[in-house]
Amino acid sequence: MNIELWQKAVEHHGHKCVGLAFGFRLGEEAKKIFNEGEKIHCMMPVRNCITDGVAGSLGGSVEDGTIRIDESLKNFVFYAEGDDEGWAFTQKKMELPEGTDPIAAVLTYDREMVVTLEPVDLM
Ligand SMILES: [Zn+2]
């Protein structure tokens, strides 16, 4: 993962937390799905620490329209600008051994352990 970008996100958010880490991880995984140069957008159900994490990774914000809050959603939907299909990311419940740092786990565990992905129709 991009440590420098993560540190910037922490700085901007004001503290390190699991929500920020989860959002950041979502953004980093989304970047792997779409082609370089495509403008990635995210829709999410609530505005919280996760929002800042996604923003920190994608380099956008709610204000500039990169992220949209939609309370009817149950998961996190990423799509490239202009596309009518995207990917829904759903958080997985992680069973962590005692003493595990949940922030490090969310940032570094295999994607399959952190989120599930499914294609979603945006029309
Ligand atoms: Zn936070």
The answer to whether residues 107 and 21 touch, using CB atoms and an 8 Å cutoff, is: yes
DSSP H or E stretch at residue 20: helix 18-33
CA of 123 to the centre of ligand 1 (A): 32
Q: So what's the pLDDT on residue 82?
A: 92
DSSP H or E stretch at residue 11: helix 3-13
Structure tokens that stand for 100 in this block: 């595990």
CA of 48 to the centre of ligand 1 (A): 7
Q: How confident is the model at residue 100 (pLDDT cuts 50, 70, 90)?
A: very high
Task: Supply the range of the domain harboring residue 30.
Answer: 3-121
How many residues would you count in the chain? Answer: 123
CA of 12 to the centre of ligand 1 (A): 10
CA of 72 to the centre of ligand 1 (A): 22
CA of 13 to the centre of ligand 1 (A): 7
Q: How confident is the model at residue 1 (pLDDT cuts 50, 70, 90)?
A: confident
Structurally, the chain folds into a number of domains equal to 1
Tens digit of each residue's pLDDT (9 = 90 or more) over 30-49: 999 999 889 999 999 999 99
Domain of residue 117, CATH code: 3.30.1330.130
Structure tokens that stand for 106 in this block: 């969310």
Q: How confident is the model at residue 14 (pLDDT cuts 50, 70, 90)?
A: very high
